[in-house]
Structure formats: C-alpha cells, structure tokens
Amino acid sequence: MNQRALTINEVLWLAIGVALASFPHWQRLPIWIPILHVGLLVARIYIPLRLSLFWEKKKNTINIVRLVIMLGGVFSIYSNYGTLAGRDVGVALLVMLAALKVFESKSKRDYYICSYLGYFLIITNFFYSQTIPTAAYMMVVIIIMTAGLINFNDTEEQLTLLQRFKLSSSLLIQSIPILLVLFILFPRINGPLWGLPKDAHTGTTGIDDQMSPGSISKLVQSRDVAFRVTFEEKIPEQFSLYWRGPVLWQTDGRKWITGKSVSGRDPAPIELTGEPLSYDVTIEPTNKRWLFALEMVSAPPENTYLTHDYQLKTRKLLQARKAFTLTSHSSYTLGTKSDTDLERALRLPELSHPKTRELASKLRDEFKEPGLILDAALEWLKQESFVYTLQPPLMVEDMVDEFLFDKQQGFCEHYASAFTILMRAAGIPARVVTGYQGGEINPVGNYLIVRQYDAHAWTEVWLENKGWIRIDPTSAVSPTRINEGIENVLPEAIISIPLGLENNETAIRLWQRLRNTVDMINYQWAQWVLGYGPERQKLFMKKFGFNSIDWKQLTLTLFIFLGTIIAAIAAYVFNKTPKSTEPAKMYYDIFCKKLAKTGMPRKSHEGPVDFAERVSISRQDLKSEIKKITDLYISIRYYSNNKNLLQFKAAIKSFTPKKIATS
C-alpha cells in the first residue's frame, strides 16, 4: 500500500529539528559539511510536491545522485581526517548523512527515521560539552523535535502551534521523575560504559611534563578552570598556595623535561611537621596522569601514587572530571632517594651558558656555603633591572645568558629555568617544579578556583641537612605575583570585565559577583551531576540509611522505584481517561453532564438533535446555546469538520446552565 507523501510543513519541522540538533557541531567541522548540510535541507524544503511524479519516473537517476553525494562526502571526510574511525569522524558522518536522509525523505517511515537521527545528534553534542547551557539548549531541541512528531501525527490539524509545544513540553516534564530515579539509582561503575576514541580527549589543555620559553606564558592567556578546591577550614594565604605538578630534571639549555627516572616509583623519604590541611580537589580532564596538590601531600588517595620526586599521579589518564580528598603539610623536610638524583640535579649541557657559569663561580668563591650562595643569587636578582612580563624579547642564542645578562625580561619559566641552571653551575643540586600558584577565592561558594592563568614554575634546591627546599625566583623580581596573584600583576593580559567598563568599580563588583555565582552553579553541576560516580552515589545513598549497598541492591531498588512510578502514572491516566477518546464525543459528554445537573439528563435512545429539541422546549433560555453546540458537534462528528473543534470546546466551556427552582 502506498504511503502518503510528506507535506512541505512536515518537511520543514523535520529540517529545523535536524539543523538545530547539529548546529553546535558546525564550528568543529570542515566548513563544507555545514554548507552541504544546510544546502540539502533547503533543497528538500523547496522541492514542489508536483515534482513527485517526476521523482518516481527518474527514480534511478535520483538514486545515482544521492549515491554520488554520499560517496563524495565520505571520501572528503576521510581525506580531511585521515580515518573513518573516531569521535570527530563519526559526528561528521552523522551530520552529513542525517541531512542526506532528510533530503531523500518522502514517506512516514522516512520521517520517523530522520527524527530518530535527530535525537541521536542531540546525544552526540554531549561528547564535546556537558555544561548547563548545552543541556538547556538540547532540551529546547528535544521539545522542538517532539513537537514536530506531534504535528506529523496531528493529520486533522486539531492542535494549534502553541498546543503542540505545550504537549511536547508536558511530555518532557512528565519524564523527569523517571529520569531522576534512573540518574540516582542506576548502578555506577568506575569509568564509562564504553571507551571513547583517542580523539575525544585531544582538546584538553594544561601544564605539561616539559617546559620551554613561552609554554607557561601561553597558558596565562586562558581563563579555563584547571581545578577547584574546597577546604575544610579557612582558605590559606595566597603566598602559600603552591600546587605541585611535574618535576623537571633534564635540560638542553632551553627546554626542560622530566627525563628518565632512575629511582623508581617509591617516593623519597619525607618528614612532615606542622598542622595538616585537608581539602577536596575537583580537577578538570587533562588526558594526563598528574594531579596538583599543595606541597606536601601526606598520602596519595585511592588510585593514585607518589613518585620518587613527590609528583602525585593517577594510575589512569584523567579523561573525565575527578574529585580527590587530600591532606597536606606546609612544613616538611623532603629527602632524596639516592646520590644518583643529586648527580642528575647538577648536570648541565656541555659548553653552554659561559656567563652564567662565570657568575656562579664568583658566587661560589665569595660565599663558599650553599645557603649563602643561594641568598646572594636571590639578592642579585633583586638588585638587577629584571622585568616580569608576558612578552619578553626574542632570545635566539644562549637563552640563559641572554636572559640574565642582556634582555632581563621574562615570565616565570625564564626565571625558574635560569635560576636552576645558575644553582647547578654553582654546585648546588637543583630542579624545576611546574604547577600552579595561588588561585581566586569564590566568596559565593567559599572555595578556591585555580585557572590556567595561575600556571607557574619555580625551583627546588638541595641543601645539606635541609633536603629539597622551594625557591621561587619570581618572588624576588615580582613579589606581587606571589602575594596577590597574577591578575594584580598583569591585568591587561586577563579579561575581567567586558564592554569597556574596566574603570567602573560598581560594574566590576557586579560583574565579579555574577561570574562567581555562575562558577558556583557550574561547580555544583560538576560535583553532583557530571561527577556523580560510584563514590558520590554511595555518599548520597548513605544519607537515606543505605550504609552498604552494592549494584544488585541498587538494581532492585531501581526497579521498585520505576515500577511504583509507572504504576502511579498508569493509575492516574486510567482514572482520568474519558470513556470516549474521541475529542468531539468527550466534550459533548461534558455538555450532557452539565444539562443533567439541571434536571435534564439525556436518554439512552436520544440522538443529539432529538435531545436538543426536547431540552430547548423546557429551557427556552438555553435554546440558542444548545442549538449552536449541537450544530457544531454534528459538523465535527459526522462531517469531519475538525476546524470547528476549538470553537466547539470554547462553547461548552462557557456553557453554564442554572437549575430552575421548582415549587
């Protein structure tokens, strides 16, 4: 049996839904894919219905055209990405093929397939972003696509545009209880249900395990959140917030790398003193293994470990947002694993940095003791005309010598690198530590935000009887950077407020308050929605008395809750569903009930006309209204004039007969 052809109105709904679902992907795709996508949708919308016979006659030709478009698109995508596997390629193919399917759609079956493709496109947007705005936008798209399905099935056009959207929104709202139960009780596992391809994590950024001129200063251009920290007690002072990351041992005079470890994974001996500081770190995905903790962490949390140089690392790549509970001590004595480490911390490239070596030799000859040499080197930095800047001049030959004795302008990586080499040249073991320094307090949520622009590098030197101690040469040149944060040193590099209102204090306060509120909402979203894993689920269930619950108990509880909700909905629908599901009959029954309450019930053998004539004789005051309602009912029920349905419904709603008193 031949199915009816799709109308332009139905195709328009379909094209809009698919376009909106794929729209966020357009910025990530090669420009020709969005152009082809829109072109196919527009072409389908403007294909006149009278050409349907032409399409049937030229069916083979049309199929060849579609095949050429599909194969050409697939080949172009392969040429662009070099593969047909992966997240980005899969999304590109789906966006292209969804538009192609809409282009060839002409039947009821095609409409449903395209709708399902649109819903699937909605899901793929969460491969890239899981923020609140993304979720809100996708809910709007779901409402539009569902309204399109309602429009497609409303063949008699009984519902207005507003009613379709109301029904679509109502269906989405009704699904929320089931959605919440599934979210809370569905058994969580460590890691995703399936493995995302490698290209799903290529967009991550942050501190790397190597450092070269400009590597950290590039991060200062980014306001992206690196991690957030909630402290059990008071947030420490800015100058004490050193978030330890990768430790760099090996250099060629310009670039620093971690180098091959000879000490294994066991951490170096450490003596922790002072009061412990407990805090929770929620780190953004980096696709790397290292975490960032205040110096020095007392014990690694679950699924992490400490290396010999006290880097805190995870056993798996950080491919999703993770939360860790840590305890650190600001007072410590960090030892070494072996003399081999100290030898590594003295190595310099051969025939490099002659001026730096000469300065180191003078310091060593004059001050003798390592501690005095260290103090003298820091004092020398303070006395010279060094400038802390994001845009240092180009240094093309010996970077260290040029920086220390010629240019004297640089960012933290320049100071850390040059000072570490100076210490090594003076015979003091030294290494570079990278991570973050400081952070921004969010007073709305009372937690610390550490952003990419807080990235920092400093030096660790080895002193006998003191172990490895932190020396930050940046503090000698720009103490404001350490005591007050990067925003107070380089405000021009960090956009704090838009619209040219940087000098308006009221605008700045309002903007900061708004930004803090938004970040607090995002933080809670990250904690309890995106970060709702096995640990969070167990913590949440404990609040309801489930101290020990496994996946079997969760599954049973899930089915009990779902069964209860579905049963309640079914009972509600059953009780509210009228005997007749036909709208005209349903409203006419309401009309009859209203008359029955006045003492004029309809008899079982009476048709609408007979009933109206009998009631009109007794109730002349209602004659005109009864006739109008009856005529509308007959035109709808027996002549299929459904355009009168809204008028019929309104007439019955306004029909309020009063019972006549009898003596």
Do residue 246 and residue 354 come from a single domain? Answer: yes
Whole-model pTM? 0.70
Instruction: Tell me: do 16 and 138 sit in the same domain.
Output: yes
> Which residue would you say has higher pLDDT here, 513 or 75?
75
Two structure tokens written together for 453: 């622009």
Token pair belonging to 615: 């009631």
Helix (H) or strand (E) holding 230: strand 225-231
Q: Is the pLDDT of residue 434 over 90?
A: yes
CA distance linking residue 91 with residue 126, whole number of Å: 11
Per-residue confidence (pLDDT) for residue 50, from 0 to 100: 46
Q: Which residues contact 422 (CB under 8 A, 6 or more apart)?
A: 356, 359, 360, 377, 400, 404
60-114 pLDDT per residue, tens: 676 777 788 889 889 999 888 888 888 889 899 999 999 999 888 888 888 999 9
Same domain, 357 and 481: yes
Q: Which residues pair with 436 in a beta bridge?
A: 243, 455
Query: Which among 470, 492, 514 is the end of a domain?
Result: 492
Phi, psi angle pair for 414, to nearest 5°: -70, -45
For 169-205, letters b (16+ CB in 10 Å) and e give beeeeeeeeeeebeebbeeeeeeeeeeeeeebbeeee
Name the amino acid, one letter, at 471: I
Q: Do 93 and 224 fall within a single domain?
A: no
Same domain, 117 and 250: no
Pair of tokens at residue 540: 């949440």
Comparison of pLDDT for 461 and 489, the residue scoring more: 461
How far is 25 from 187, CA to CA, in rounded Å? 31
Residues β-bridged to residue 344: none
Dihedral sign (CA 195, 198, 203, 208): positive
Strands (E), 298-356: 304-306, 312-314, 322-328, 331-334
Query: Is the pLDDT reported for residue 4 higher than 70?
Result: no
Give the type of residue at 487.
E
Question: Which of 390-394, 429-433, 600-604 shows the highest mean pLDDT?
Answer: 429-433
| 329 and 459 together in one domain | yes
Within this chain, do residues 390 and 476 fall inside the same structural domain, yes or no? Answer: yes
Between 205 and 399, residue with greater pLDDT: 399
**Cβ partners under 8 Å of residue 235, min gap 6:** 441, 446, 447, 448
Tell me the C-alpha distance between 455 and 216, whole Å: 6
Q: For residues 543-551, give the mean pLDDT.
A: 73
Question: At residue 52, does pLDDT exceed 70?
Answer: no
In a domain, 251, yes or no: yes
Q: How confident is the model at residue 48 (pLDDT cuts 50, 70, 90)?
A: low
Q: What is the pLDDT of residue 346?
A: 93
- Between CA 644 and CA 649 the distance in angstroms is 9
270 within a domain of the structure (yes/no): yes
For residues 289 and 495, what is the distance between their CA atoms, to the nearest angstrom? 30
pLDDT, position 500: 58
Among 52-66, 373-387, 637-651, which is the least confidently predicted range?
Answer: 52-66
Domain identity same for 215 and 316: yes
499 in any annotated domain? no
pLDDT at 1: 42
Whether 133 and 216 map to the same domain: the answer is: no
Letter string b/e over residues 596-615, b meaning 16 or more CB atoms within 10 A of that residue's CB:
eeeebebeeeeebeebbeeb
Percent of the chain with pLDDT over 70: 89
Q: Which residue has the higher pLDDT, 83 or 539?
A: 83
Tell me whether residue 517 is in a domain.
Answer: no
Q: How many domains does the chain have?
A: 3
Question: Which residues neighbour 274 within 8 Å (Cβ) at sequence distance 6 or greater?
Answer: 329, 330, 331, 332
Look at 642 and 50; give whichever has higher pLDDT. Answer: 642
Contact between residue 206 and residue 436 where contact means Cβ atoms under 8 Å apart: no
Percentage of the chain with pLDDT > 90?
33
Judged against a pLDDT cut of 60, whether residue 497 lies above it is answered with: no
pLDDT at 328 over 90: yes
**In terms of residue numbers, what domain contains 425?**
210-492
Angstrom CA distances, 554 to 57, 185, 540, 542, stand at 59, 6, 12, 13
Beta bridge partners of 432: 248, 459
Instruction: Note whether residue 146 is domain-resident.
Output: yes
Q: What is the identity of the amino acid at 441? A: I
In a domain, 18, yes or no: yes
Same domain, 362 and 230: yes
pLDDT confidence of residue 265: 62
Find the mean pLDDT for residues 481-496: 64
User: pLDDT band for position 209 (50/70/90)?
Assistant: confident
pLDDT in tens, 256-313: 998 876 555 678 889 998 889 999 998 988 888 889 999 989 989 888 999 988 999 9
398 is written with which tokens? 């010996």
Per-residue pLDDT, 627: 92
**Mean pLDDT, rounded, of the chain:** 84
Quick one: 281 and 426 in the same domain? yes
Indicate the range of 78-82, 343-347, 369-373, 484-488 predicted with least confidence.
Answer: 484-488
Q: What are phi and psi of 468, to 5 degrees?
A: -80, 125
Distances (CA, A) of 48 to 18, 52, 53, 375: 21, 8, 11, 84
Of 104, 122, 150, the residue at which a domain comes to its end is 150
Mean pLDDT of 415-422: 93
Residue 32: exposure state from Cβ atoms within 10 A (0-12, 13-18, ≥19): middle
Asked whether 659 and 599 are in contact (CB, 8 A), the reply is yes
Give the number of other CB atoms < 10 A from CB of residue 107.
Answer: 13
Q: Half-sphere exposure (CA, 13 Å, Cβ side) for 15?
A: 23
CA–CA distance, 563 with 521 (Å, rounded to integer): 33
Count Cβ atoms within 10 A of the Cβ of residue 279 and give its class: 0-12 exposed, 13-18 middle, 19 or more buried. Answer: buried
Highest mean pLDDT: which of 508-512, 577-581, 630-634?
630-634
| 445 and 297 assigned to the same domain | yes
pLDDT of 194 above 50: no
- DSSP one-letter code for 658: P
Does 161 fall in a domain?
no
* Span of 124-128, 139-143, 181-185, 203-207 with lowest mean pLDDT: 203-207
- The residue out of 475, 492, 509 marking a domain boundary is 492
| pLDDT on residue 416 | 92
Given pLDDT bands bounded at 50, 70 and 90, which one contains residue 227? very high
Tell whether 326 is covered by a domain: yes
Residue 374 has pLDDT above 70, yes or no: yes
Based on the number of CB atoms within 10 Å of its own CB, is 453 exposed (0-12), middle (13-18) or buried (19 or more)?
buried
* Per-residue pLDDT at 490: 60
Please name which of 305, 297, 330 lies closest in space to residue 470, comparing C-alpha atoms: 330
Strands in 467-471's sheet, in edge-to-edge order, are 270-273, 331-334, 467-471, 455-463, 430-437, 242-248, 293-294
- Show the CA angle centred on residue 451, arms to residues 449 and 452, nearest 5°: 165
Mean pLDDT check: name the lowest of 198-202, 364-368, 379-383. Answer: 198-202
Ranking 357-361, 457-461, 505-509 by mean pLDDT, the lowest is 505-509
CB 622 within 8 A of CB 652: no
Q: Which residue has the higher pLDDT, 548 or 382?
A: 382
Task: Check: CB of residue 472 under 8 Å from CB of residue 459.
Answer: yes
Specify the pLDDT at position 193: 44
Position 98, amino acid: A
What is the predicted pLDDT for the residue at 542?
78
Cα dihedral sign for 66, 68, 71, 75?
negative
Residue 210's pLDDT is what? 87
Confidence class for position 116, pLDDT limits 50, 70, 90: very high
Mean pLDDT of the region 350-369: 91
Write down the pLDDT at residue 149. Answer: 92
> Where do the H-state alpha helices sit in 368-488?
370-383, 399-402, 412-425, 473-477, 479-484
